[in-house]
Structure 1
């Protein structure tokens, strides 16, 4: 019930603001087929392929809501999950975006990650996570900070046994360079900072307070509706130490075919 209340709260807040302003709405849908699903540098499909899709509704007054979904398959290391825990990730989000006269864009909102069909070991933290975020962008560059509101944070427990990781953050920095009308390059750096230190599972001693992920991607627009992206994605040694599973942490090339409707 708590999960449904969180999703409903995001939708109600956004739609309430929209209805007051009687804004016009533009809806779009998307679908992806990827060789792997990596989230913040870590494979969410145990190195396997992913089929993903969702929809977005953007209102003329700047508000928006959306949903995005993907299959997942977690190996269990570092999260308390049983081995081979397959299921579905469903993301629900809403917010407000706009731009200033000087060309600086901004975006604030909330995003709820909901996981269906993934078994959780007794006493382990849940995967379901609610984050609020703020983003600024300018001329191809952006900076975004996400802040965890829920105690549960993607199934991560602290080294001291606490399952309360509220206050954990994710810093997302990136820059996209358009090489032509069809081809672009995007560089990304991310930093996950845990509110409470997590265990160094690889060494079996010590703790980890954060880890970084990074990627370099090339996207080619086949047409206005279809595109293909090739991205090399990796994490630093701290990420390897915590997750302690080469299948999900090793740097790799991920190819994604995308469609917009």
Structure 2
């Protein structure tokens, strides 16, 4: 009898664990955007031209998630602070874990790999491909996110001392969203890029630059929305990338859909 009880207990534990594992649900979503300019950390990635973007996400009920996002890019090359000068495709791959605490604080940690396809790289120049780890905390309408580069290559940049190893560079992203109604909300953002090693442009060393934006999003429906945002960089950003076409502040309009 004791053996039967033990077997029954083991079976219950085993099948209970299997049942729990099978209970993890997966939610998949897709997204698509059309934007007048793809600006990444305040700098145009499409030479001030339009972009078509899209991707998908898979979120697991246990908090884990994976996803992919893609956009056309067009780097001007000379005078842009980048080592390449042609059109191509940016493909982002990411995964992480997100959750919330009892006091309402949300958190999100993960890794993101930026992969550039079809963009020619000059001989001896660093790759555009970049791997970052990130951590984010949020509370209500406010969030703070820090991204940390773990790859030596950092978006094709070279330090002033000639080193192509810019691992350890960081990006601080602070944001706020203010709902005005069920369909309209205002957003504000401040970002700070800090390089692990100084960049030298025109004989001047730069270790960081800031970008900022302020905008409004209107939800047309549960699936469609339109956003208008003014995006710009500070004086250091303009001097580092040294190309008005990609650094000038401008109004960017984006139409988004999610499925």
TM-score of the pair, normalised by structure 2: 0.90
**3-state secondary structure, aligned to 2:222:** coil
Structure 1, residues 65-98: CA drift from partner, whole Å, max 9, x if none? 000000000011211213xx10000000000000
Corresponding residue for 1:39?
Answer: 40
Q: How does 1:1-261 map to 2 (within 5 A)?
A: 21-22=21-22, 23-76=24-77, 77-82=80-85, 85-200=86-201, 204-261=202-259
Q: CA RMSD in A?
A: 0.9
Partner of 1:14: none
* Partner SS, residue 78 of structure 1: coil
Aligned residues: 237
Distance in 1 of aligned mates of 2:208 and 2:191: 10
Query: What is the SS of the residue equivalent to 2:229?
Result: strand
CA apart distance, 1:226: 0.2
Separation in 2 of the partners of 1:167 and 1:221?
A: 38
Query: Which residue is equivalent to 2:3?
Result: none
SS at match of 2:237: helix
Residue 42 of structure 1, CA deviation: 0.1
Which residues of structure 2 form unaligned runs of 5+?
1-19
Query: After TM superposition, what 4+ stretches of structure 1 lie above 4 angstroms from structure 2?
Result: none
Q: Deviations over 1:11-35 (max 9, x none)?
A: xxxxxxxxx9442100000000000
Structure 1 CA distance, aligned partners of 2:159 and 2:32?
A: 35
Query: SS of 1:173's equivalent?
Result: strand
Does the residue aligned with 1:152 lie in a helix, a strand or coil?
coil
Q: Which structure 1 segments of 5+ residues have no match?
A: 1-19
- Distance (whole Å) between structure 2 residues aligned to residue 220 and residue 148 of structure 1: 34
Note the C-alpha offset of 1:217.
1.1
Structure 1 residues 61, 193: closer, same or farther in 2, change over 3 A? same
Contact preservation (8 Å) 1:33, 1:258: yes
